[in-house]
Structure formats: C-alpha cells, structure tokens
Amino acid sequence: MTGSKERFPITRRLVLRGAGAIALVGLGVVSLRGAPALAAANDKYPEEAFKQKDGKEAIKLLYGRTAEPSDKIKLDAPEIAENGAVVPISVSTTLADVTSIAFVVPENPNVLAAYYRIPQGTLPNIANRLKMAKTTSIIALVESGGKLFSATKEVKVTVGGCGG
C-alpha cells in the first residue's frame, strides 16, 4: 500500500563517506557516530556487545548486570515464525522510567539483535522485525529505574533466517 508517502515532503541526503573513513573504521581507529546531536547522549553504539556469541555475556557487556524476569513486560512474538528471515516482535511494558529496551536471540550467531535507547518522553513500546536462525527463546530486556528486567518467549523457526 502506498499510503502516506506523498504526504511527506522529503528532504533527502544520501552520503557515502570517503574510502579513507571506511578504512579507519575497519582498523577501529575511529568509531562511527550517528547524527551529531547524539553526542549529547551518554551511550555509544555498543560494538562489543553486538559481537557476542553468548546471551549472558552480551547482557553483561551491555548493562553490567543480570536481568530478573518481570510480568510487567509484554513480549509479543509468533509461535511459529512464517520465515526466520522476518519475525515480527514487539514489546511493551508498564514498568516506569524505562531508559532502554533490547532484544537478544540466544541461538543467533550474534546474540544481540537490537538495542533501543528510550529518552524521557518516549514510550516503552516497540515493534520491529528480526532474523532468527532457529527455534529459540527470544529475550526482551527492559532497563527501568536503573534495574534490568526481562521477558522470554519461544518462537519455533523451521525456515532459518540467519541473515537471509
């Protein structure tokens, strides 16, 4: 459905940075930062956490603590993924003062899928589409009032979508 795209006047800028910059990134000399405004936020792109193969390690790197299960988190995911390449997953929570939400897929080659920073005034309510390599529990992590909570749901995957 085309829907609303005509309604938005689009100002557009597509920039491919120079080869030099890419090479530097490759060597880890500079870390790429997003929009300059982000410099205000404390968090950087958690490069190391995204490389982790183990769920616990990724969570420790990301938050420096372990999560406790909470029934105040509603994690919505299909019982059987129609295709592991595109699994719609959403989370919402009634927990207060949420500062971040993350998704971990323990059976994926890299376990951390996404990490969302939630500034004040943004609702703790996210939907996204993730790849899942095989049947596994998906873990939603919610950082609330300086504590870490989690919810887990198993998703059956018969056609793996590890990157497809």
Partner 1 sequence: MASSIRVRAIANGDTTEVQTLIQHPMDSGFIKDDKGQFIPAHFIQELTFEHNGKPVFVADWGTAVSKDPYVKFAFKGAAKGDDLKVSWIDNKGGSDSATFKIA
Partner 2 sequence: MARIGRAGSRLGVRSLSMPLAVLLLAITQAAVAGNVDPAAEARAFRDYFFKKFPNVKADDFANGPYALNEDMRRQWEEKEQFPPYEFSLEAGKEMFAKPFANGKHYADCFPDQGIGIRQNYPQFDAASGKVVTLELALNECRTANGEKAISYTGEDMAALTAYMAFTSRGKPFDVKLPDDARAREAYENGKRYFYTRRGQLNFSCATCHVQNPGERLRAEVLAPALGILNAMPIYRSDWGGMGTISRRFITCNSQVRSVPLEPQSEEYRDLEYFLSYVSNGLPISGPGSRP
Residues found near partner 1 in the complex (CB under 8 A): 3-5, 7-17, 21-22, 25, 32-35, 37-38, 40-41, 43, 45-46, 50, 85-87, 90, 105, 108-110, 112-119, 121-123, 125-132, 161-164
> What is the bridge-based pairing of β-strands 136-144 and 125-130?
unpaired
What is the nearest approach in angstroms of partner 1 to the Cβ of residue 67? 18
From the list 31-39, 100-108, 139-147, 152-160, the region that binds partner 2 by CB under 8 A is 152-160
CA–CA gap between residue 130 and residue 117 (Å, rounded): 17
**For residues 73-110, b (16+ Cβ closer than 10 Å) or e, as one string?**
bebebeeebeebbebebebbbebeebbbbbbbbebbee
The identity of residue 20, as a single letter, is: G
Q: Please select the residue that binds partner 2; options are 25, 38, 41, 86, rule is CB under 8 A.
A: 86
The identity of residue 73, as a single letter, is: I
- Smallest CA-to-CA distance from 113 within 71, 147, 62, 40 is with 62
What is the nearest approach in angstroms of partner 1 to the Cβ of residue 101? 9
- Whose tokens are 């529990």? That residue is 137
Q: Is 120 in the site for partner 2 (CB under 8 A)?
A: no
CB 99 within 8 A of CB 117: yes
- Smallest CA-to-CA distance from 149 within 75, 90, 78 is with 75
Q: Is 85 in the site for partner 2 (CB under 8 A)?
A: yes
Q: Is 104 in the site for partner 2 (CB under 8 A)?
A: no
What is the nearest approach in angstroms of partner 1 to the Cβ of residue 146? 19
11 versus 64: smaller Cβ distance to partner 1: 11
Q: Is 43 in the site for partner 2 (CB under 8 A)?
A: no
Q: Which residues bind partner 2 (CB under 8 A)?
A: 1-2, 5, 78-88, 90, 127, 129, 157-159, 161, 164
